[in-house]
C-alpha cells in the first residue's frame, strides 16, 4: 500500500459532495490501492449535517479511508493537501444579479486560495466545481501565487459528458463510442460544445461525427443549445441541480489528472490560457481540449477552427473577460 493522500472536498454537506464522496472513498477515483485521508469542509451552520455525512462514511467501512475529518476551519481543512476539490460556493438566488454572485464568490475563493497558499502542499491539484467555476478558479489561483497556476483547473467535464451523451443518443451508440468532443470557454450558457473534431465508433470503425450524423442543422442548433442549457433543464425537472452527473464528471476529471488521458483521446477542462492557443486572450481560465500525462496537462494544438466555431469561441471568451474584470475589481477591494 502506498502512503495515504490527503483529499479535501468543500461544500461537503451538499448534494454534489454526497454523490461524490463514496466514489473517492471506494477507490474508483485514485485507484484501488491508494489510501486516503478525506477532509470535509463546510460552513458552521452545516456542521450537524456534515457530522451525519461523516457517520455515513464511517458506516461504509471503506478499507481505503484511513481517516475522515469534518471541519468548519480552513486551517484544519487545507493543511498538507494533495488534492482540493472546491465544490462549495455561493449559489445564485432568485433576483440576484451576476455581479452580486461574483462578489460573494470572490470573497470565498480569495479566502480559500489564501488558505491553499498558506497550508497546502505546493504540488496540490485544485479542482474548482462551485459556480461561476471558471472565474472562481482564477480567483483561487491568483490568491495562491506560489502554487503553479497549471495546478488549478475547473470542471467542464460535465458539459463534455453531456455533449458525448447527446451524440450517442442520436446515433444509438453508447457514450463510450464517442470521443474528442470539446467544450470551449465558460461553464455557462455561452460555452461552445464543438464536435468538428469528434469521432464515433460505428460498426467497428471510427468516423467523424458530422459524417456519421449527416445533420448539420441539428449539430449547429439544437445540439448546442441542449448542452448549454442542460443544467437548467435538470433543475426544472428535478427541482434540484444535477448532483449525480456532476459527481461522475468530477470523478472523471480527477481520474484523468491522476492517471492521464487514453492514447488518442482528449478531454475538456477549464485551465489557464497562455495567449498562444486558439486566439484566446492570455490569463483567462477557459475550457480547452487537453491531454494529460504524468499529472500534467497540455493543450491539444493545431486543430483547424472554422468561422462558425471562431465566433462561438470568441463570444464565450468575451463573457469570461468581463467576469474576470468584475472579479478582479472585487478582489482588489476585498
User: Which residues are marked as active site?
Assistant: 187
Residue with grid cell 480559500, as numbered in its chain: 112
Q: Sort strands 199-202 and 205-208 into parallel, antiparallel or unpaired.
A: antiparallel
Does 129 carry a binding-site annotation?
A: yes
Euclidean distance between CA atoms 215 and 212, whole angstroms: 9
> And the C-alpha cell for 211?
459524417
> And the C-alpha cell for 8?
479535501
Does 98 carry a binding-site annotation?
A: yes
Does 161 carry a binding-site annotation?
A: no
Chain centroid, CA 194 distance in Å = 18
Does 131 carry a binding-site annotation?
A: yes
137 in the Ramachandran plot: left (φ > 0), alpha (ψ -120 to 50) or beta? alpha
> Annotated binding site for substrate: which residue ranges?
92, 98, 131, 162
Amino acid at each position: 500500500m502506498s502512503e495515504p493522500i490527503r483529499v479535501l472536498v468543500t461544500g461537503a454537506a451538499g448534494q454534489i459532495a454526497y454523490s461524490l464522496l463514496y466514489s473517492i472513498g471506494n477507490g474508483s477515483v485514485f485507484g484501488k490501492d491508494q489510501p486516503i485521508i478525506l477532509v470535509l469542509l463546510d460552513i458552521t451552520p452545516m456542521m450537524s449535517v456534515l457530522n451525519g455525512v461523516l457517520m455515513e462514511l464511517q458506516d461504509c467501512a471503506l478499507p481505503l479511508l484511513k481517516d475522515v475529518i469534518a471541519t468548519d476551519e480552513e486551517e484544519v481543512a487545507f493543511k498538507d493537501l494533495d488534492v482540493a476539490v472546491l465544490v462549495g460556493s455561493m449559489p445564485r438566488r432568485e433576483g440576484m444579479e451576476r455581479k452580486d454572485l461574483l462578489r460573494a464568490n470572490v470573497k470565498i475563493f480569495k479566502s480559500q486560495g489564501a488558505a491553499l497558499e498558506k497550508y497546502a502542499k505546493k504540488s496540490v491539484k485544485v479542482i474548482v466545481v462551485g459556480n461561476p467555476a471558471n472565474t472562481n478558479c482564477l480567483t483561487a489561483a491568483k490568491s495562491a501565487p506560489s502554487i503553479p497556476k497549471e495546478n488549478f483547473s475547473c470542471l467542464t467535464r460535465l458539459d463534455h459528458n453531456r455533449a458525448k451523451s447527446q451524440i450517442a443518443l442520436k446515433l444509438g451508440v453508447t457514450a463510450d463510442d464517442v470521443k474528442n468532443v470539446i467544450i470551449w470557454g465558460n461553464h455557462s450558457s455561452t460555452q461552445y460544445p464543438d464536435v468538428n473534431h469528434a469521432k464515433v465508433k460505428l460498426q467497428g470503425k471510427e468516423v467523424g461525427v458530422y459524417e456519421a450524423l449527416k445533420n448539420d442543422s441539428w449539430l449547429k442548433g439544437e445540439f448546442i443549445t441542449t448542452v448549454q442549457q442542460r443544467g437548467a433543464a435538470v433543475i426544472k425537472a428535478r427541482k434540484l441541480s444535477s448532483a449525480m452527473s456532476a459527481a461522475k464528471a468530477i470523478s472523471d476529471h480527477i481520474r484523468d489528472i491522476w492517471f492521464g488521458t487514453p492514447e488518442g483521446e482528449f478531454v475538456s477542462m477549464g485551465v489557464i490560457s497562455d495567449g498562444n492557443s486558439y486566439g484566446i486572450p492570455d490569463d483567462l481560465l477557459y475550457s480547452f481540449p487537453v491531454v494529460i500525462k504524468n499529472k500534467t496537462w497540455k493543450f491539444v494544438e493545431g486543430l483547424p477552427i472554422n468561422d462558425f466555431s471562431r465566433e462561438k469561441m470568441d463570444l464565450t471568451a468575451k463573457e469570461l473577460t468581463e467576469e474576470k474584470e468584475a472579479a478582479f475589481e472585487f478582489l482588489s477591494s476585498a
